[in-house]
Amino acid sequence: MSNLSSVITYDNEFFWDATKNKKLVFQKCKKCGHVIWPPSNICPICYSTDITTITSKGKGKVYSFGVFRVPFHESVKENIPYILAVVELEEGPMVVSNIANYSAENLKCGCEVKLIWETKEDFSIFKFEPV
């Protein structure tokens, strides 16, 4: 059992199930069209519970980022330095993830990125890399 099992709830189980198939999915309000993130059983804009699920194209831009040069936990020690970024997806949600396969010195806010997957034990983690 992975550490991920501790964060899976009834409300976000659909999201983690989709990651097993390397799909990044979000909820979309059928009433107002708002793409909901983080997962919720109610639209935060219009309070509708009429919600569907969409699959992200995996394209977005770096909104903000930080470079970690000191490990805050033993489990990330071998990844130093790594980039943690807020990525604004074309569908609207802003997600926090890693930027892989890129030098931190060359990364800029607004840089276009695409979705990639890293498989761990029994689940997959979404990350991004520059286009």
Question: According to the binding rule CB under 5 A, does residue 96 interact with Zn ion?
Answer: no
Annotate 92-118 with DSSP letters as a single string: S-EEEEEE-SS-GGG--TT-EEEEEEE
Q: Is 28 in the site for Zn ion (CB under 5 A)?
A: no
Chain centroid to CA 68: 18
Q: Smaller CB distance to Zn ion: residue 43 or 87?
A: 43
**Residue 34 identity:** H
Long-range contacts of 39-42 (CB under 8 A, 24+ apart): 39/11, 39/12, 39/14, 39/15, 40/11, 41/11
For the chain, how big is the Rg over CA atoms in Å? Answer: 16
Instruction: Candidates 48, 49, 64, 79: give the one binding Zn ion (CB under 5 A).
Output: 48
Interface residue with Zn ion, options 29, 62, 83, 85 (CB under 5 A): 29
94 binds Zn ion per the rule CB under 5 A: no
Q: Would you say 30 or 114 has its CB closer to Zn ion?
A: 30
User: Interface with Zn ion by CB under 5 A: which range of 12-20, 36-44, 97-105, 122-130?
Assistant: 36-44
**112-120 and 123-130 beta bridge pairing:** antiparallel
> Which of 45, 131 has the CB closer to Zn ion?
45
- Please state the closest distance from residue 44 (CB atom) to Zn ion, in A: 8
Q: Which residues bind Zn ion (CB under 5 A)?
A: 29, 31-32, 34, 43, 45-46, 48
